Structure 1
Amino acid sequence: MKTVELGRTGEQVSQLALGCMLMGTTTDEASANTMLNRYLDAGGTFLDTANCYTWWEERGSLGGHSEEVLGRWFASTGRRDDVFLATKGTALVKDLDAVWVDDQPDWERAYQNFDGAGGDNLRRSVDDSLRRLQTDHIDLYYVHVDDRSTPLEESLEALAGLVQAGKIRYIGWSNVRTWRLERIRQLCAQHGWPAPVAVQQQHSYLRRKAGLSHISIVDDEQLDYLQAHDDLTLVAYSPILKGIYDDAAKRAKHPMMALYAGPDADARIAAVEDVAAEVDATPNQVVLAWLLHQTSPTIVPLMGPRTLEQYDAGIRAVDVKLTSDQLGRLDAAGA
Structure 2
Amino acid sequence: MKTVPLGQTGEQVSQFALGCMLMGTLADDESSYAMLDRYLDAGGTFLDTANCYAWWPGPPFRGGESESLLGRWLHRTGRRDEVFLATKGSAWIRDVDAVRDNPHDPAAASRQYEGAGAQTLRQALDDSLRRLGTDHVDLYYVHVDDRNTPLEETLEALAGLVAAGKTRYVGWSNIRTWRLERIRQLADRYGWPAPVALQQQHSYLRPRPGADTRSIVDDEQLDYLRANDDLTLVAYSPILKGSYDDLTKRRDHHVMASYRGADADARFAVVAEIAAEFGVTGNQLVLAWLLHQRDPEFVTLIGPRTPEQYASALPALDIALTDEHLARLAAAGEGTDG
Cα displacement (A) at 1:60: 6.2
What is the CA-CA distance between 1:330 and the residue it aligns to?
A: 0.6
- What is the identity, as a one-letter code, of the residue corresponding to 1:72? R
> What corresponds to 1:247 in structure 2?
246
1:309 matched residue in structure 2: 308
Is residue 73 from structure 1 mapped to residue 96 from structure 2 by the alignment?
Answer: no
The CA deviation at 1:26 is 0.5
Task: Tell me which residue corresponds to 2:97.
Answer: 97
Displacement, 1:302?
0.5
Aligned twin of 1:329: 328
State how far apart, in whole Å, the 2-side matches of 1:266 and 1:129 are: 41
Cα distance in 2 for partners of 1:50, 1:326 equals 36
* CA 114–105 in structure 1, closer or farther in 2 if over 3 Å, else same: farther
Check conservation: 1:60, 1:96, Cα contact below 8 A. Answer: no
- Is the Cα contact below 8 Å between 2:241 and 2:249 reproduced in 1? no
State the partner residue of 2:204.
Answer: 205
Q: In the alignment, which residue of structure 2 is the partner of 1:225?
A: 224
Equivalent residue for 2:11? 11
- Pairing 1:276–2:270 present: no
Distance of aligned partners of 1:105 and 1:173 in 2 relative to their CA distance in 1, 3 Å threshold: farther
Partner of 1:30: 30
Distance 1:251 1:315 in 2: 22
SS at match of 1:85: strand
Paired residue secondary structure (2:244): helix
Please state if 1:156 is matched with 2:122: no
Match of 2:215 in 1: 216
* Partners of 1:92 and 1:298 in 2: CA distance: 30
Read off the aligned partner of 1:118 and give its amino acid letter: G
**Residue in structure 1 matched with residue 191 of structure 2 by the alignment:** 192
Query: 2:234 — aligned with what?
Result: 235
1: CA distance, partners of 2:270 / 2:244 = 11
State whether residues 22 and 306 of structure 1, in contact with CA within 8 Å, keep that contact through their aligned partners in structure 2. Answer: yes
Distance 2:156 2:248 in 1: 48
Q: Which moved more, 1:58-67 or 1:6-15?
A: 58-67
RMSD: 1.2
Deviation of residue 230 (structure 1)? 0.8
User: 1:165 maps to which residue?
Assistant: 164
TM-score, length of structure 2 as denominator length? 0.96
Deviation at 1:294, TM superposition (A): 0.9
- Report deviation, 1:110: 1.1
Q: Which amino acid aligns with 2:135?
A: D
Where 1:334 maps in the other structure, the secondary structure is coil
Instruction: List runs of 5+ in structure 1 lacking aligned partners.
Output: none
Taking the aligned partners of 1:77 and 1:46, their CA distance within structure 2 comes to 16
TM-score (norm 1): 0.97
> Is the partner of 2:211 in helix, strand or coil?
coil
Contact 1:99–1:107 (8 Å) recurs in 2:
no
What's the secondary structure of 1:147's corresponding residue?
A: coil
* Residue of structure 1 equivalent to 2:295: 296
User: Structure 2: which 5+ runs fail to align?
Assistant: none
Separation in structure 2 between the aligned mates of residue 252 and residue 105 of structure 1, nearest angstrom: 19
Matches of 2:105 and 2:291, distance apart in 1: 34
CA gap of 1:144–1:105, structure 2 versus 1, over 3 A, is farther
**Change in 2 beyond 3 A, CA 1:96/1:254:** closer
2:161 counterpart letter in structure 1: L
Match of 2:47 in 1: 47
Residue number in structure 2 paired with 1:121 = 120
Work out whether residues 62 and 92 of structure 1, in 8 Å CA contact, stay in contact via their aligned partners in 2: no
Task: Compute the displacement of 1:105 (Å).
Answer: 7.5
Q: Measured at CA, do residues 36 and 106 of structure 1 come closer, stay the same or move farther in structure 2, by a change above 3 Å?
A: farther
Q: Distance in 1 between matches of 2:272 and 2:96?
A: 42
Whether the aligned pair in 1 keeps the contact of 2:85 and 2:137 (CA below 8 Å) is: yes
